[in-house]
C-alpha cells in the first residue's frame, strides 16, 4: 500500500518535471556554483566599490539641486518682514465735496520690507507695497484721491495705498558707512526724512498729516531719486543734509525742470528727549499736501521756490503705564518768492500713553493747525484720538476717531471720521 501510494505521488511530479523544469541544467548550475564561487574577504569588494560610487553620484546630484535652490532663494544676509492692514471706516463729510463719501468702506494695505547687507555695515532696502484705496482721474488726467486718501481735508490714513491691487516697488535705497560717524545714502525711490539723523517725533499717528511732528512744509516730501549724508556723534548730536528731485528719473537731478527739496537738519537726542531744527529749500514749484489747506498747499506757482523752517521736540516719561504721556511738538514756517501772500505756518501737538490697560497697548491724541497761508481768514484745525490694543504679538486692533473744522481753509468745511484698523505683522 505504501509503495503504491508513493508511486502514485511521484508519477505526476516526474511528468511535470519533464515538461517544465530542466533538472539537468539545475544540477549543472549547482555544480558550477560549488566549483567556482568561494566566499572570502574579497568577494564583495567590487560590489562595495560600485555601491559607493553610486552613492557619491547621488550625493553630487543632491548638492547640485540644493545649490540651484539656494540660488533662487534669499541670501543669508537678506531679511523679510511686513504687514497687512484691514481698514473699515466711514466719514461724516461736508456737503458738496465730490471726493468724500459717507459710505462705509472696507480697504486694505499690504507691505513687504526687504533688507540686505553685503558687508555687515551697509544695507540695501526695498519696500514692496499694494493696496486698494480708491482713486480716480480728473479732466486733466491727474489723480484725484478719495475719502481715506484725500489730502485737502486731512483724511489720508497712514495705512493708505492706492496701487490698485498691484504689487509695486514703493521704496528703494542703499546706505553705507563712510568712517565711524558718517553715513551715505542714495536711491531711486526715497524721501528726505529717511536720510535725517534725528527723529523729529515719536508720536505714532493714524492720519498721515500727523507724521513727523506735522507733515507740512519743513518735512513734506515725495518719493523720488535722491541722496544724502548723515553725521552722528557719540554724545547725541546729528547733522544731515540731503536732496530729492521729483522727476530725477526722467528730466534729471537738481535741474530747473524738476521740483527739488534740499533739507538740512541739526538735532540732539538723548534717551528721554530730543530737539531738532530743519531748513528745507524747495525749488521749482514744490507743493506740500498732507498737513495743509488747499491754499496753503498751492501757495507757489510759476516755478517759485520756498524757504521752510521746522522746529521739533519730543519728551517721554521714565516709565510707561502712568498718567503722564510722551509729548511731541512741531512748528513750521514757510516763505516763498511767489507773491506778497505766500508765507504759511502750522503747529502740531501729539500725546501718547503706553501700557495703560494691557502690555503694548497705546492711546494717542493729536491736534494742530494745518499749514495755512497768511491771507486766509479761517483758522483750520485737525485732531485724532485712538486706542491700539494687542490681540497677540503679531495682531493689533486700532479704533480711531478723527475730524477737523474748516479743515481745507473753507469756513464750515467740518468733518468727522471713524475707522477700525486691524494690523497683521509678520
pLDDT over 50 at 32, yes or no = no
Model-level pTM greater than 0.95? no
Q: Residue 242 and residue 264: Cα distance in Å, rounded?
A: 7
Q: What percent of the chain has pLDDT over 70?
A: 80
- For the segment 119-141, the average pLDDT, to the nearest whole number, is 89
Helical residues (DSSP H) of 298-354, grouped into ranges: none
Do 269 and 295 contact (CB within 8 A), yes or no?
Answer: no
Instruction: State the greatest distance between any 2 C-alpha atoms of the chain, in Å, as a whole number.
Output: 139
Is the model more confident about 199 or about 285? Answer: 199
E strand residue ranges, 120-212: 123-131, 135-137, 143-145, 168-177, 182-190
Which of 134-143, 153-162, 333-342 is predicted most confidently? 153-162
- For the segment 53-66, the average pLDDT, to the nearest whole number, is 61
Element containing residue 119 per DSSP (H, E): none
Residues 20-29: contacts with CB within 8 Å, 24+ apart?
A: none
Q: Give per-residue pLDDT as tens, 167-198.
A: 999 999 999 999 999 999 999 999 999 999 99
Q: Give per-residue pLDDT as tens, 294-330.
A: 888 876 556 788 999 999 999 999 999 999 999 999 9
pLDDT over 80 at 98, yes or no = yes
Give Cα 40 to chain centroid, integer Å: 70
pLDDT number for residue 224: 95
Strand partners, 330: 312, 348
Q: Residue 267 and residue 62: Cα distance in Å, rounded?
A: 55
Do 372 and 380 contact (CB within 8 A), yes or no?
Answer: yes
Q: Residue 313 and residue 113: Cα distance in Å, rounded?
A: 28
pLDDT number for residue 339: 67
Give Cα 33 to chain centroid, integer Å: 75
Instruction: Give, in order, the Cα–Cα distances in Å from 413 to each of 5, 90, 207, 215.
Output: 119, 17, 18, 21
**Helices (H), strands (E): how many in the chain?**
4, 18
Element containing residue 30 per DSSP (H, E): helix 23-36
pLDDT, the chain, mean: 85
SS3 state at 20: helix
pLDDT over 90 at 281, yes or no = yes
pLDDT over 50 at 23, yes or no = no
Is the model more confident about 38 or about 296? Answer: 296
Pairing mode, if any, of strands 273-283 and 306-315?
antiparallel
Amino acid at each position: 500500500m505504501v509503495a503504491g501510494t508513493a508511486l502514485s505521488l511521484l508519477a505526476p511530479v516526474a511528468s511535470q518535471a519533464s515538461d517544465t523544469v530542466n533538472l539537468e541544467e539545475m544540477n549543472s548550475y549547482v555544480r558550477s556554483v560549488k566549483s567556482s564561487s568561494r566566499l572570502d574577504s574579497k568577494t564583495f569588494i567590487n560590489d562595495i566599490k560600485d555601491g559607493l560610487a553610486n552613492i557619491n553620484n547621488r550625493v553630487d546630484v543632491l548638492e547640485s539641486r540644493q545649490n540651484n535652490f539656494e540660488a533662487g532663494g534669499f541670501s543669508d544676509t537678506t531679511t523679510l518682514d511686513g504687514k497687512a492692514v484691514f481698514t473699515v471706516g466711514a466719514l461724516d463729510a461736508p456737503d458738496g465735496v465730490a471726493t468724500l463719501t459717507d459710505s462705509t468702506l472696507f480697504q486694505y494695505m499690504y507691505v513687504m520690507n526687504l533688507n540686505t547687507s553685503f558687508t555687515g555695515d551697509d544695507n540695501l532696502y526695498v519696500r514692496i507695497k499694494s493696496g486698494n484705496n480708491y482713486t480716480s482721474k480728473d479732466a486733466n488726467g491727474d489723480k484725484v484721491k478719495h475719502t481715506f486718501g484725500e489730502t485737502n481735508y486731512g483724511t489720508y490714513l497712514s495705512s493708505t495705498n492706492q496701487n490698485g491691487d498691484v504689487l509695486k516697488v514703493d521704496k528703494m535705497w542703499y546706505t553705507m558707512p563712510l568712517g565711524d560717524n558718517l553715513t551715505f545714502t542714495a536711491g531711486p525711490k526715497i524721501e528726505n526724512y529717511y536720510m535725517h539723523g534725528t527723529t523729529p517725533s515719536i508720536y505714532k499717528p493714524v492720519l498721515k498729516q500727523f507724521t513727523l511732528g506735522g507733515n507740512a512744509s519743513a518735512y513734506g516730501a515725495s518719493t523720488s531719486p535722491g541722496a544724502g549724508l548723515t553725521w552722528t556723534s557719540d554724545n547725541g548730536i546729528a547733522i544731515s543734509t540731503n536732496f530729492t528731485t521729483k522727476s530725477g528719473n526722467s528730466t534729471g537731478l537738481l535741474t530747473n525742470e524738476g521740483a527739488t527739496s534740499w533739507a538740512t537738519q541739526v538735532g540732539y537726542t538723548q534717551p528721554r528727549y530730543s530737539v531738532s531744527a530743519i531748513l528745507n529749500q524747495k525749488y521749482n514749484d514744490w507743493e506740500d499736501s498732507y498737513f495743509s489747506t488747499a491754499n496753503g498747499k498751492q501757495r507757489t506757482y510759476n516755478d517759485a521756490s520756498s524757504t521752510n523752517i521746522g522746529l521739533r521736540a519730543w519728551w517721554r516719561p521714565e516709565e510707561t503705564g502712568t498718567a503722564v504721556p510722551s509729548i511731541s511738538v512741531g512748528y513750521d514756517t514757510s516763505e516763498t518768492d511767489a507773491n506778497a501772500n505766500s508765507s504759511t505756518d502750522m503747529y502740531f501737538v501729539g500725546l501718547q500713553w503706553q501700557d495703560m490697560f494691557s502690555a503694548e497697548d497705546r492711546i494717542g491724541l493729536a491736534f494742530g493747525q494745518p499749514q495755512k497761508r497768511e491771507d486766509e481768514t479761517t483758522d483750520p484745525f485737525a485732531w485724532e484720538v485712538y486706542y491700539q490694543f494687542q490681540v497677540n504679538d503679531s495682531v493689533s486692533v486700532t479704533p480711531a476717531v478723527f475730524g477737523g473744522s474748516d479743515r481745507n481753509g473753507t469756513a464750515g468745511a467740518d468733518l468727522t471720521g471713524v475707522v477700525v484698523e486691524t494690523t497683521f505683522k509678520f
